[in-house]
Amino acid sequence: MFTADEKKDLTIRFWKELKEKLDSTGKLEGRNIDWMNYPNKINHLYFRMEANTYSCKFCIDIQFLNAGVREVYFQQFEEFKTKLDQIMPQPFSWLSSYEHPNSKTIARLFVEHEKSSIYNEQDWPKSHQFLIDSFMAFDTFWREFGDMFRNLK
């Protein structure tokens, strides 16, 4: 097993390498943005990446405190389910009610690459590629349809 410092170092290196790869890939596609803080211009709607001992995920977290507003955004994403399934490397899993580790109830859509560990450097290339492919595919969707979500405000 790893010490706390070793885990911290691996985690920092995993995300640093991913950020560099995302920045490089994004620039090749003419997108010079901060992928880790994606500018969707909607408070309480987040596009996130997660990695742990078992998997990595690209997530859309709908975190409005008002359950009704959260449901409206979730339903808007559901209206685009066919388009999302066509554009994403794999279909999203849909959770209209998810207990986030921060103790908030949110809605979450996610795609997951299983059997990969942030603590196994041999898994990193596949994990990184999965996250890059997922984010770039979603970025294509968001550039085309993001205004429809922004207009819900």
Averaged pLDDT for residues 57-74: 97
pTM: 0.94
Residue 102: predicted pLDDT: 87
Instruction: Give the integer Cα–Cα distance in Å for 19 and 83.
Output: 27
C-alpha separations of 4 from 49, 93, 120, 131, 149 in Å: 22, 32, 15, 25, 41
Q: Which of 25-29, 127-131, 133-137, 146-150 has the lowest mean pLDDT?
A: 25-29
Range of the domain at 98: 4-150
Residue 121: predicted pLDDT: 96
Number of structural domains the chain divides into: 1
What is the tens place of the pLDDT at every residue in 95-113? 999 998 888 999 999 999 9
